Structure 1
Amino acid sequence: MITKKPRILTFTHYGELYGANRSLLTLLIALRDKIDWWVICKEESEFSRELRQQNIRYSIVPFTNDVYMQKKRFQWLNSIKRTVYNVAVGLYTAFIARKHGVDLIYTNSSVIFIGAVTSFFSGRKHIWHIREFVYDDYKLTYLLGERAFRFWANKASAIICISKSIQKRRVLSKDINVKSVIIYNGLVSDQSKATVRPSPVKPTVLGIVGVIDPAKNQLAAIKAVHELVKRGKFVVLNIVGSVSSQAYFETLKTYISEHGLNEYVNFTGFCKDVSAIFKSIDITLMCSPHEAFGRVTVESMMHGVPVVAYKSAGTVEIIDHEITGLLYHDEKNALTTQLTRLMTDDDLYKKISSRASKVARENFTIKSYADQFAQLVYSLTANCATSGGANWLSVTLGANFMSTCAVVTDQILICPTLLV
């Protein structure tokens, strides 16, 4: 029987308030009375400021992600250097985890190994939350290859997958023999009421929400607007999100300029107010061909805004075609055709708006999300907090070695004293 709140050392891989961090923040707030959270951030950022505002304990430890996007000259040397640095950081955070009575390590993304390394050296159990395909969606490559991910994943005590698609492609098909569970992100609060949107008035405002990056495929949305304009439709597209890829952003602007679409396409930038985003649009586009889950899709549904989405991956686990949204594939003008249906069929629009709002409230609640996570945590911390890693460190190398590692890594970290 647990007599105290389990203390979880949590690692997050970036600083913006996008999908993964917003989902993490939901857990931190929903379970603050049941879990003693301690978050490790790479740098001061929008996310760390939010943690401070919420009075959630965090520390800054500068580690690096274990992936790269573009191969550099002597990439193998760069990969080794970054890996060695992260191992040194992992030794330090392992020492801190043991010193401060951490019960469990939790990693919020599969693009970082620091949680796994900390778990190994501290002997604390590790929960790894896999939220991305890595290869297909963001075109990333692991520093030491996929074998490195498989090595660390097989040392986890449990793996959380945000969709069946993620579980199948990242765990079950990759020879990873660890318990994996599917926990869908929770977005809807108990107080949230169902919303039904009226049919859009002209101009119809379309919206695509997310970082401006090839993974989100904003170009497909712009091309659909181009086709709608050629067909005489009165339509506007709001592209909501900050720029992740400057080169891709320039590609989008060039297409818009060359086809005379400047008055039809707006770049609104990042907006923290989710409710305001969906109040301003009539139809949401989800054009990513490799969406691991689709947080924006669920957010749109809960606000009663119909979604037209690319038929693949996690998206098909959320949207039931012609019931809770419309799906399209990559045949020519398929997206335009589905958008036209919603723009011209009032009954279809209202039916999807009503049903989508109801389904979102039935299947993607914060309570269910938090309860499932807490149940997993309690099952791992009920009996013991340590695993083989602690024995290896204590017996083979001894406590003095850990202290020495802490002193050495103290000298290479920018601000480790924030942890102590």
Structure 2
Amino acid sequence: MKVVFITHFPNLYGANRSLLNLIDGLKKYGVVPYVISPFEGQFTETLKLRNIEFAIVPIQWWADKFESAGNFVHKSYRIAAFYPKAFKRLYLNLQLIPSLADIVKEWNVDLVYTNSSTTPAGALLAEKLQIPHIWHLREFLDLDYNLHLDWGKLLCNFFIQKSDAQIAISKAIRNHFSSRGSKERMHVVYNGIASTLELERLYKLGNDSLRVDKVFTFALVGLIHANKGQDIAIKALSILTQTFSQVRLLIVGDASGDQLAQLKKLAEDLGVSNQVEFWGYLDDPYQAYLASDVVLMCSKNEGMGRVTVEAMSVCRPVIGYDNAGTSEIIQHEYTGLLYRGDHEALAACMKQLIENPDWAKQLGMNAWKRVFEEYSIETYSQKIYEILLSVVTQHNSSKQLIHI
């Protein structure tokens, strides 16, 4: 089976890392991967190293930032500025489809697989070539990244549901994109983050790195963004430092604009700048997990939370906000802790684990076991291969009936 994967971004954030895991896992089923990326970047460099054929085509998103706050005049101005850009994105995608189709026809693929909800290019391509299309839904868009769909949620959801199958990375994502009567082709498949063999290695690595002779360390890993809650973590740490002098917080991830400067100023204003370390982007986030005792997930609307599962894979308990995909992964007081509320609620959970390090270690052991059972690449790729096979088989059967 030949599959072309459409990715929306050229760097190695969660969606593309999960795609690489999937490509690796599908090898045993004879799936030959091809990739379309909008630009070159870390992701395409990795494809070169793995000898995976790809093409660069500047496909467009069908979503953009849109600030809905403000009075009628401000909203009207923003709407007037937004829709010309939306039409331009649509026009550019339509212009790209013929050349994109030529590339994919040369590869002679059986199926188009869109790896994100941010672009309709894969669906348009599959429609032109009359081959099956699968849509992997990995983000809310509006709730997690403040993105507004060009043609509204209702119309875009209708378009998404016309694909031959949809795969959601959590029940929360499924419910966000499906209506009451449209779930028969919507599958929930949690991301796999490592092979079973690798998970056994990570267990040993994580267990061996747990030490009691160091400053108790929390880590928050991921894109620095207003919705990711880095400010909440800093405020929670400021409460803890009133009682515990030996505690620190690692903030790991890329930042855009002045967000990093704002967080550094917040830490300084709260008197914790010496306890908060900004590590920037790491190619290998496991460096941060292994340097910590506990990992934080402060995003209120996490589609699934690859960081959560990765941290659990090295025996680290995660304290997460009790909503969306995070609530599906963390079992409260068994593999980690869930909190509701603001920084004070988070600080209370952090305090529990500082005061009970043996319990924190046991939560981490339980967390690893859950990852091994449910989030391996083998489990992930098998479930998705079954969907691929079902879609292609059904499409081929329909073609044969038409010819008859």
TM-score normalised to structure 2 length:
0.89
Distance 1:90 1:374, change over 3 A: same
The reply on whether 1:109 has 2:103 as its aligned counterpart is: no
Contact 1:301 1:357 in 2 (8 A): yes
Partner of 2:97: 90
Partner of 1:372: 383
Aligned-pair CA distance for 1:233: 3.6
Aligned-pair CA distance for 1:150: 2.0
Deviations 1:246-295 (A, max 9, x none): 23323212211222222111110111223322211111000000011011
Bigger RCO (CA 8 Å, 6+ sep): 1
Structure 2: runs of 5 or more not aligned = 68-77
Q: Distance in 1 between matches of 2:58 and 2:341?
A: 41
Partner of 2:136: 129
Match of 2:310 among 299, 305, 317: 299
SS at match of 1:136: helix
Match of 2:21 among 26, 39, 54: 26
Distance 1:307 1:211, change over 3 A: same
Match of 2:292 among 267, 271, 281: 281
Aligned-pair CA distance for 1:149: 1.4
Aligned-pair CA distance for 1:188: 3.0
Task: Select the structure that is richer in helix.
Answer: 2
Q: Distance in 2 between matches of 1:367 and 1:249?
A: 38
Partner of 1:401: none
Q: Distance in 2 between matches of 1:177 and 1:8?
A: 24
Partner of 1:12: 7
Contact 1:132 1:292 in 2 (8 A): yes
Contact 2:144 2:302 in 1 (8 A): yes
Match of 1:167 among 156, 170, 174: 174
Deviations 1:317-367 (A, max 9, x none): 111111000111115611111111111113311220111111111111110
The reply on whether 1:39 has 2:35 as its aligned counterpart is: yes
Match of 1:254 among 239, 261, 265: 265
Partner of 2:51: 55
- Give the counterpart letter for 2:193 in structure 1: L
Q: How many residues align?
A: 382
Partner of 2:74: none
Partner of 1:229: 241
Q: Distance in 2 between matches of 1:100 and 1:354?
A: 45
TM-score normalised to structure 1 length:
0.86
Distance 1:272 1:331, change over 3 A: closer
- Give the counterpart letter for 1:17 in structure 2: L
Q: Distance in 1 between matches of 2:162 and 2:177?
A: 15
Which deviates more, 143-152 or 298-307? 143-152
- Give the counterpart letter for 2:311 in structure 1: S
Contact 1:125 1:386 in 2 (8 A): no
Q: Distance in 1 between matches of 2:221 and 2:343?
A: 23
Aligned-pair CA distance for 1:199: 5.9
Q: Distance in 2 between matches of 1:201 and 1:291?
A: 33
Partner of 1:213: 225
Contact 1:20 1:131 in 2 (8 A): yes
Aligned-pair CA distance for 1:299: 0.7
Which deviates more, 321-330 or 150-159? 150-159
Which ranges of 4 or more aligned residues in structure 1 deviate by more than 3 Å?
A: 70-73, 175-178, 194-202, 383-388
Deviations 1:25-58 (A, max 9, x none): 1011222352111100001101000111111111
Q: Distance in 2 between matches of 1:306 and 1:202?
A: 17
- Give the counterpart letter for 1:242 in structure 2: D
- Give the counterpart letter for 1:65 in structure 2: W
Q: Distance in 1 between matches of 2:395 and 2:342?
A: 54
Which deviates more, 257-266 or 318-327? 257-266
Q: Distance in 2 between matches of 1:145 and 1:278?
A: 38
Aligned-pair CA distance for 1:178: 5.5
